[in-house]
Amino acid sequence: MSSAQTLKPMTSTMWLRYMVEAINSSGQDGSDLARKVGIDLDMLHVPEGALADQLCYDLLNAAALASGNRDFGLAAANTFKPTAIGALSYSMMTAENLDAALSRCTKYIGSLTSATSARLIAADDGKRFEIHFQHAGFPEVRQTHEFCCLFTLNFLRWITGQELHPLETTFTHGDPKRPEIYWRLFGCPIVFDAACVAMHFSNAQLALPLITADASLASIHDRFAEERMQQFGVSPYTQQSRRLIAKLLPDGEPSRNDIALRLNLTDRTFQRRLQEEGTQFSDILDDVRQNMARIYLANENISLHEAACLLGFSGQSSFTRATNRWFNITPRELRLRINKRS
């Protein structure tokens, strides 16, 4: 396959199996509805299996129609199961705080689906966690979008042990005109007909420590999530870019064109491929550096100057500015924090 556009959007059978269970818990026959929309029930129990992503939409739409509940996606998401997202859940729950967990989600969501990407964008007094669904031509998206968004919020509440309320939540679909339901579940203003599904969290919320944090297991679960992404075959240009950036950084910061040339692409085509995968080169470079910074700083045999060079920074001051932007602390402070927790 030569481009992300030729990749058929797929979703983990684990996630679809959870949807069937959630429908059962909501009083409907999830297995019967799954069969009716064309889901092979035997496939749901295949380890590391995947099915067409459109089946998620078809299944929840069928459940909403059968139940007569126009808010079925929201109701089903409250039958919460934290491990429903597999490797992604374990990677997120071992993170240090909410910000790090959301960052891991943007990085490893490809372990769950090739049809959805996520971004964490700086915004007023915090960051916006954006969920970008690939659903061109799907007639009805509301049930799936609301199910996924509320599941995510419930998961974040579980790993923080806090009744989180975003500053704002946005959906791409129209206003169902029942504000009391959304306020009860999200506890924040809701914007409809927005550009993407998103939740805006404050800096104070992003700094919340996770009750499930475990630095000793984090790298293990991250590796598992990365392997799952490779099995899924998702975001090929993003993943190839990450590997090339990591390889080239010790020789200095690679440009987008440097990576494009090594992928036998023009700079413009490479930029377009990344956009198709829901990301951009600067975000990939920043994320690779951030994750490698943690690794280098955990090793006290690597000096701060050496770490800066290995990360492709022009000097120690550039490295310090980057860690302040990522973690609000200096490299030295980050090293102390990492090694104290390990």
**Is pLDDT at 342 greater than 70 in this prediction?**
no
Name the residue among 148, 151, 182, 187 with its Cα closest to residue 167. Answer: 187
pLDDT band at 2, cuts 50/70/90?
very low
Q: Extract the tokens encoding 262.
A: 């090594």
Q: What is the pLDDT of residue 6?
A: 39
In the beta sheet, which residues pair with residue 133? 116
Grade residue 7 by pLDDT with cuts at 50, 70 and 90: very low
CATH superfamily of this structure's domain 235-341: Homeodomain-like (1.10.10.60)
Check whether 182 has a pLDDT greater than 80: yes
Q: Report whether pLDDT(105) > 80.
A: yes
For residue 240, the model assigns a pLDDT of 72
Confidence of residue 73 (pLDDT cuts 50, 70, 90): very high
Question: For residue 237, is pLDDT > 50?
Answer: yes
At 90, is the secondary structure helix, strand, or coil?
A: helix
- So what's the pLDDT on residue 236? 61
| Residues 94, 84: Cα–Cα separation, whole Å | 16
DSSP code, position 113: B
Q: In this structure, which topology does domain 4-206 adopt according to CATH?
A: H-NOX domain (3.90.1520)
Residue ranges per structural domain of the chain:
4-206, 235-341
pLDDT value at position 231?
Answer: 60
Average pLDDT of the segment spanning 310-321: 94
Mind listing the pLDDT tens digit for each residue in 116-140? 889 999 998 999 999 988 775 677 8
Q: pLDDT by residue (tens digit) across 148-160?
A: 999 999 999 999 9
pLDDT for 318:
94
For the chain, give the percent of residues with pLDDT over 70: 93
Residue 295 confidence (pLDDT) = 77
- Mean pLDDT along residues 13-42: 93
Among 15-19, 285-289, 292-296, 301-305, which is the least confidently predicted range?
A: 292-296
What pLDDT sits at residue 16? Answer: 92
**Which helix or strand (DSSP H or E) is residue 206 part of?**
helix 203-206
CA torsion through residues 217, 220, 226, 232, sign: negative
Query: Does the fold of domain 235-341 match that of domain 4-206?
Result: no
Average pLDDT, the chain: 88
